Amino acid sequence: MSSSARELSSDPTPPHPSPKEQLIASLERLVQNFPPDSLQPHGGFYYGPASIALLFFALSKHYADDLRISNKHLSAWFTAYFSSLPDPLRSGSGGSGGSDHPSSNHCGVMEDLLSTLALQAGAYSDKRAAVKLCDLATVADTPGISDEWLYGRAGYLYLLRLAKSGFAPNNGLEILDRIEYTAQLVILAIHRSPQPWSWHGKVYLGAVHGVIGIITQIVLTVPSCAAGRLEQLLDSLLRTQSEDSGNWPSSLPAGRRDRLVQVCHGAPGVVVSLLAIRKYFPGLETRIDEAVARGRSLIKERGLLPAKEPCLCHGVSGNALALAEADLDAFLAHATEERMGQLIDAGVMEPSSHPEGLWTGEAGRAWAWAVADKGLERGLLGYNDL
């Protein structure tokens, strides 16, 4: 790496930009560079058009109609991106294989048909979509399905929460009961899985593929599950935090490597998760607070990740959402278009293979700017915002 690149990657004090201005600029780039008709329907809520639709749906709940992007309201952009997806209720239109069934080995937030059904139910209070999402829960009991968030059963729980958000007792009590019953079945399947939970033969600990992600999705879906076995698992997870660095290993056994500091593996994802579930574990609150403090110190020290394009999964935008407000602003100063250009020109930033995505690119940066602008809870959209 050249000396100029080292200077850019280690410079801690770029000017703090206006989150509102950066949000608008990010959304303008998103709709201009990746319009609805330019993207293939793939990637669920991780990347692709469904992930952008989820972003605009979420933002439309936090911003008044006076916020326009390329002369359209946020809700109009949601409609445009959502309309580019195959109709999940039409036979032969959904799923990764083009059928009306989900992928045979995926049921998490990256599964296209299930993600679209959940968004249709949540955004439009569509009872048919909610019923179909629940009917397809049989895939979550299929042998070989993982338990983690991105591809597995924990992700299915987020999809059920999204669908549930579209209904209230006065317009869908029967649907709410159906969703809650389905969630209990999925949680039972998770508990029946061989433990410790593993993904691709490894016992991962992080938010995307690991133990903390599974615990978080279960507890946010059915808080009463926090007692007993999950409290024991969380206690064990807290014990794996390094006393020296404050990081968590990506998998067990921990070994000697302490390298990854990002949402998918390491302290940022664990910290965001702990902040979301802390109130459900009163017996562990003091230890959670101590773990969060050590984790945040590590993130401030090692979490800028100049080699990765800013994104939620493995970049500075996601890491910023694990920090307190003042540190959030300082981190997001490294996620501006100008700053990215400097790092790309210096040869120290790796561009994303899905630069439009919610968890992989521009849509995720927009969400982080919105969190900073509105002072929202430290939620990762598609993970713990519901």
Per-residue tokens: 120? 């249709």
Within 117-185, strands assigned E span none
Annotated binding site for Zn(2+): 264, 313-314
Per-residue tokens: 205? 């600990």
Going by C-alpha positions, the residue among 202, 228, 92, 226 that lies closest to residue 147 is 202
50 Cβ contact partners less than 8 Å away, ≥ 6 residues apart: 41, 43, 44, 81, 82, 85, 112, 115, 116, 119
Residue bearing tokens 């700017």: 369
Residue bearing tokens 């790309």: 344
Question: Tell me, what DSSP letter sits at residue 365?
Answer: H
The alpha carbon of residue 51 and the mean position of all alpha carbons in its chain are separated, in whole angstroms, by: 10
Task: Give kind and range of the element (H or E) at residue 128.
Answer: helix 127-135
Per-residue tokens: 284? 């562990």
CB 28 within 8 A of CB 72: no
How many secondary structure helices (H) and strands (E) does the chain include?
16, 4
Question: Tell me, what DSSP letter sits at residue 195?
Answer: S
Per-residue tokens: 144? 């070989």
Going by C-alpha positions, the residue among 33, 16, 36, 13 that lies closest to residue 25 is 33
3-state secondary structure of 67: coil
The DSSP bridge pattern shows strands 68-69 and 72-73 to be: antiparallel
CB 29 within 8 A of CB 362: yes
CB 384 within 8 A of CB 336: no
Phi first, then psi, for residue 251 (nearest 5°) are: -150, 170
Annotated binding site: 264, 313-314
